[in-house]
Structure 1
């Protein structure tokens, strides 16, 4: 199936990370010109290099999403260079904190809000007007099962990922009559290197992940490709009537089961 992305420019935040890099690869394979945006330029350059070697088109861009002025200047330069950002994947996030709220570190809360939520706002605010003007755009916000269902010991991550759901739905309303869609993806734990391990072996690697796999009806973790393939579809011409939706990539963990 041709997703119709040959003439589109896609910007992926956190593009040097596990999920973001796979988003970049899949979008490039579908023909999009991909901007691998990350605060870690080395990671972004590695992903962009892989894409270029595979015959795709990609650019590595360093940017701190928490710096609103830097984001505006970076996006402005990219829009001028590429003719406009058509696709935005708000993927960048921090997810390393595990502590109950009574013991939570205020600096961790502030950091996660500034990156996970305000960072997404900053870059969206910079690209969204151009999408409306051109009357075509796709925004995909990466939430999480922790944002949908809560996550024990993940108060800042869960709160920011829940906020991205409302953020994405509001963008859907604002873009609905101008050819701009906005959707939200809520993945389970996705780690390709561990997805095929039997739960007993996974227990030895990471007991936390093993507990999640046991609670998942499919009895395994997901992969980055499970997410990236959905990203590509939501950015496609075929998904032009899909907007304001929260789509789980969960293996069924959100189902009520005995």
Structure 2
């Protein structure tokens, strides 16, 4: 990708799943990656794998629901690299399937804190430096649940819809500072989070099979389906693209 080599990037939730795949891809493009995760061991394992493959990465333990912790973590990463953050990928997320009428306020607050306030915290902490430097790329990993809704994920869907709208509105505010903001919406994806969502065993397999039947390309996603698009949006090849929302779902959703 043009213009991405020797840049720095923060990827949240990069200890596993989609975030880990994105971190690996950016590292292969010559980016120094800040592997942000609330799980120190998982972040360390991702960094070790990146370094073993010849890439550059820094593990940073961070709770994205805590703004002061986010500011500290961003400062720690930028001190380690000796420069400001060029690319931010807001990937970290969490949910568990529960019908909305069976949820409670504590559950809502947890989902909103991670899936909406988390990206707000990270973006606020990082974009100020980007604005001062007049350059930056922010990529939000939302979900098709935020575009079309998802049964059993009502609050999560709302958060992802809010993230999509947040990205569009902020893209307008910071465009003159040469900061682009775009959103990638994965469809159902085979990750550890999917295992906890659908369960295992015969019942879990039935749910997976039903998902596959709904996807025109005949499978659910895997983590490696998304990093190429993220790298593109972070590169100079996408310098004239901002405020956009792109679904990567095998045709499950098709938006004009």
- How does the TM-score come out when normalised to structure 2? 0.91
Say which structure, 1 or 2, has more relative contact order (CA 8 Å, 6+ apart): 2
Distance (whole Å) between structure 2 residues aligned to residue 70 and residue 225 of structure 1? 29
Residues in 1 aligned to 2:211 and 2:220: alpha-carbon distance in whole angstroms: 8
- Give the secondary-structure state (helix, strand or coil) at the position aligned to 2:243: coil
Number of the residue aligned with 1:87: 87
Give the whole-Å Cα distance in 2 for the aligned partners of 1:245 and 1:203: 39
Cα pair 1:203 1:209 within 8 Å, conserved: no
Deviation of 1:192 after TM superposition, in Å, equals: 7.3
Taking only aligned residues, the RMSD between alpha carbons, in angstroms, comes to 1.7
Deviation at 1:77, TM superposition (A): 2.6
Q: Within the alignment, does 1:154 sit opposite 2:135 as a pair?
A: no
The equivalent residue for 1:70 is 69
Q: Which piece of structure 1 moves more, 59-68 or 102-111?
A: 102-111
- Contact preservation (8 Å) 1:44, 1:62: yes
C-alpha distance in 2 between matches for 1:42 and 1:162: 31
Alpha carbons 1:66, 1:114 under 8 Å: kept: yes
CA contact 2:17–2:191 (8 Å) conserved in 1:
no
Q: Deviations over 1:178-203 (max 9, x none)?
A: 1110000111112279xxxxxxxx97
Structure 1 runs of 4+ off > 4 angstroms?
Answer: 202-205
Instruction: Determine the structure 2 residue equivalent to 1:198.
Output: none
Within the alignment, does 1:242 sit opposite 2:248 as a pair?
Answer: no
State how many pairs are aligned.
246
Name 1:227's counterpart in structure 2.
226
Q: Measure the CA separation in 2 of the matches of 1:94 and 1:236.
A: 28
CA separation in 2, counterparts of 1:46 and 1:66?
A: 22
CA contact (8 A) 1:3 1:30 kept: no
**Cα distance change, pair 74–206 in 1 and its aligned pair in 2 (3 A):** same
Distance across 1 between alignment mates of 2:157 and 2:249: 16
Separation (CA, whole Å) in 1 of partners of 2:22 and 2:164 = 19
Q: Who is 2:118 aligned against?
A: 119
Alignment gaps of 5+ in structure 1: 194-201
Equivalent-residue separation in structure 2 for 1:22 and 1:121 (angstroms): 22
CA contact (8 A) 1:66 1:119 kept: yes
Structure 2 unpaired stretches of 5+: 193-200
Q: Partners of 1:58 and 1:246 in 2: how far apart? A: 28
**Matches of 2:102 and 2:85 in 1, distance apart?**
41
2:53 equivalent to 1:54: yes
| 2:215–2:250 Cα contact (<8 Å) kept | yes
CA distance in 2, matches of 1:254, 1:8: 33
Secondary structure of the structure 1 residue equivalent to 2:220? coil
Q: Work out the CA distance in 1 between the residues paired with 2:31 and 2:90.
A: 16
**What is the TM-score with the length of structure 1 in the denominator?**
0.91
Please report how far the alpha carbon of residue 106 of structure 1 lies from its aligned counterpart in structure 2 after TM superposition: 2.1
